[in-house]
Each structure stands twice: as structure tokens, then as C-alpha cells.
Structure 1
Amino acid sequence: MRFTFSLSLFLALASGTANAQEAPASKCVVVFSQGSNMSPSDPQVNRMWNRLNDSFGQFVSAELKGAGQRVIEMPHPVEATDIAANMRRLLKKAQQEGCNLIVSTSMYADQQTHQFMSTLRINPITAERREFPAGTNYAIAQETFKKEQADPLTKETLDRLVASDIAKSLVGDYLNATK
């Protein structure tokens, strides 16, 4: 079962704030990696999704570092389903580090379309004029880039998928789009 507590849903709801100013113009990105296939009854399944998404986030981070960006990694387990708490931690870390982008990564099984999805989303961070209860004055702006790779959800496909290759392709598309 696929739960819809993903960061991308929260980012869509939280974007487009009034009174926004630009966040610090740095080459710092927060790579937020989290899957969305949480099993309430099978910790082994959760560990598998966590390992996969942590690895994918690390590969994305390595590609961004190779492009000269300073990267702060923030992997979140699939069990971390409190979107508001995740967002507070994410924005607080971004403000502490002076980052201006969130790179959201996820690999998951979409049971409705029978596809294995790999996603990369980019959201700028803006500075707000008022203080939020989260202890940060950062907010998330609208998504500026989104790339997904869909593969058939079969054992054969899963056996041949290489997370590092997918990360290289998705980050390469992002970097080419921002030249």
C-alpha cells in the first residue's frame, strides 16, 4: 500500500507564500530522501525501503557534490510520517546551514500504476519576514524542477535497476536544465 504523506505533497501545500524574500544565495542544497511505501506491520520491508532511499539520496548527493555544490544530507525513514515535524526539521537545518534549495528524492512502488518510480524534485527556499513556530523564518517556494523515471514494477526490472545510474541521469537532467 502506498501512503500519500510524501514531502512533495507538503511542498505543494506549503509553496507560494506571500512576503517572501530570497534565502541566502549559496550553493548549498539539502537533499531530503524519503520513501513512501511504509508498512505498518513489517519492519523488514521498511528497512529495505529505507536502505534503498538512503542510497538513492547519497548517490544524488554525490552527483551534486561533483557539480560543485555544498550538500547537506537529510535522510528520513519511511516511518517518519509526521509531515509537519519533518518539515520543521528540514527548514531548521536549511536555515542553520544557509541553504537555498531542497532536493527531494524518493524511490517507491506505485501500486496503482504498477510502476517503480524514482523522483527528483527541486524547491527553492525563501526567507519570510515573520517568525514561524518552527523556529525558522524559511519557507519553501514552488517546485522549479521535477523529473521522474518510471519503470515496470516487476522482479526483472527491480533486479536490473541501479540507483547510482538513475541518480546520475536525474541530476544530469536537472543540471542541464539550469545551465
Structure 2
Amino acid sequence: MMLKTSLARRSACLLAAVLSFPLLARSAAPAGCTLVAGGGRAPLSADSQVNDRWNRLNFSFFDATAEAARETGDVEQAFFAAGATDTARNLQSLLSQASKAGCLRVAQVAVFTDDTRPEPELVFSLRVSPVKQDAAGSAASLGAAEFEKEYRYPATPESLGQVVPSRIADRAMREYREQSGPADTVNVYRGTGSAQCTGGGSTLAENQKRLTEAGIQVLSSSCGSTGRMYAQRCGGPTGDIHVFEIPASQKDAAIKQQFRMLSDLPGAQKAACPS
């Protein structure tokens, strides 16, 4: 994989330090930071070279994600090496570190292989979840994911030589920021109902009217697609959607009007509406 020399040297030094401890913690960051957690998916192999490759691949993606997250705020870091697959224990460590640092969210990243597909795939995943405190403020938990997406590539020698973890991390964090928007707003969507060959369905204005007539403020709107693949046949769905940014406080009202959270569609993409 092509990495700049400076990044490779810095990552190697950081990796050596991280692998000495389950967690790498900095001094407490100001309230509102993001805890970026990497690894925790690769089982321990009897082959030390295999473990080293997985550690380096996961760390490259993790380190690049943390750098991208620093563009918008303070970051805490936690990395789990190959073999650290105790999910409950890892989560407990993350929540403890997030609470001490005052972090509001945890961004979990991992690289792993999916052998359940007909052809094995290499998966880069990002999941961002809010940190929830109980009423007494004594216990923390992770809330429902605000953003969750996987970037998949064929697990072949040719493709493995072409994937660049830093580029995938930049793309993932950019898409997270674009989808989540400001903290006090959310994105909801509704299918257009258009069909292949014939088109039709609701217009952007018609779907926006459903929201405004229910007393919901629309801050911005756009067209888009679900990001899913559909069989090509006349009359079949197109996957076209309309996306609306609304106040987070009006999310439940929008759901009652048959709109859904855009975060439910990890592969969704916004696009300019056709003229």
C-alpha cells in the first residue's frame, strides 16, 4: 500500500507504543471530544506475521481516522491489537475512557475479512455512537449509532495492493460529517415512489409539504438515492429518495409522517435534483 514516508514512520512509532497497552490514552480533553477506537475484530493467529499484518492494517485505518476527526474537535484514542476480541471488556474500557475524558461520542473503526460472501471481502468499517450517561451520571453506555458504514473490497492480492486506508478514513469521516450535519439537526428521508421505465412518484415539493403541513421546519432539502442495488426491470423501484434536514427535536413528528432517519441507510447519497 502506498503511504507517505512520514506517515509510515509516525504510524510505526505509535503502533509500537499502542501494542504495549490495550489502550493509549492522552491527558483529559475538553468536553465534547470524540473517542476513536480501532481494532478489536481480528482473532489471534498462531502466525505472528499474520498478527503483525492485521495490526498494521487496522492501525493505519485507525490512525488516519483519528487525524481526520481532529479537524473538527479534540480526540482521544484507543486501539485493540489482534486477539483483543472480548467485545464486552473492550466496550467497558472504551466507556470508562470516554467518561473520564468527557467525550460525547465513540467512533469505532475496524478492518476485517468477511468470509460469508461467495467471494471473500476486505471490510473497512466506521460506526459512530453517542455516549449516554444515566440519571445519576455514574454509568455510561453507547446509544444507537448515529452513523454506520462499511467500505468493501475484493480480498484479492490485486485489490489489497490498491486500497489506501488513509483515503478510506478521509472518505468515511467526510461522509459522516455530511450526513450528521450540526448536532441540533437530523436528516430524514422519504422514497419518491418512482418506478423504472415509467418514472412518476412524488416530487420534492410534495414530500416537503408533508413535513411543513405537520408543523415540521425544513432547513434544507435535496434529492438522493438509497445506495442499494435493484434488479433492472420496468416497474421496479429506482431507489430515489428525498432528503430533508430538520430540527432534531422534530424527528419523532417526521417519523409519524412516514419519514425515516437517513442514518438507517448507510449507503445513501445526496444528489442534486434533476432539473
User: Does 2:81 match 1:72?
Assistant: no
| Local SS of the residue matching 1:160 | coil
User: Which residue is 2:33 aligned to?
Assistant: 28
User: Does 2:80 match 1:112?
Assistant: no
Letter in 2 for 1:161: V
CA RMSD of aligned residues (A): 1.7
User: Which residue is 2:134 aligned to?
Assistant: 128
User: Which residue is 2:216 aligned to?
Assistant: none
Structure 2: distance between partners of 1:137 and 1:76: 22
Per-residue deviation at 1:169?
Answer: 0.6
Per-residue deviation at 1:82?
Answer: 2.1
After superposing the two structures, state which structure 1 stretch, 95-104 or 37-46, moved more. Answer: 37-46
User: Which residue is 2:253 aligned to?
Assistant: none
Letter in 1 for 2:170: K
Alignment gaps of 5+ in structure 1: 1-24
User: Which residue is 2:90 aligned to?
Assistant: 86
| Local SS of the residue matching 2:161 | helix
* TM-score for the superposition, normalised by structure 1: 0.78
Higher relative contact order (CA 8 A, sep 6+): 1
Letter in 1 for 2:64: F
Structure 2: distance between partners of 1:47 and 1:35: 14
Percent of residue pairs bearing the same amino acid type:
27
* TM-score for the superposition, normalised by structure 2: 0.52
| Local SS of the residue matching 1:30 | strand
User: Which residue is 1:141 aligned to?
Assistant: 143
User: Which residue is 2:211 aligned to?
Assistant: none
- 1:37-86 Cα distance to aligned partner (Å, 9 max, x none): 324422221121111111111100101112x2111010111211222221
CA gap 1:54/1:155 in 2 versus in 1, 3 angstroms: same
User: Which residue is 1:95 aligned to?
Assistant: 99
Structure 1: distance between partners of 2:168 and 2:116: 22
Structure 2: distance between partners of 1:35 and 1:111: 17
User: Which residue is 1:19 aligned to?
Assistant: none
User: Which residue is 2:51 aligned to?
Assistant: 46
Aligned length: 150
Residue pairs, 1:142-157, within 5 angstroms: 142-157=144-159
Letter in 2 for 1:30: L
Structure 2: distance between partners of 1:35 and 1:159: 23
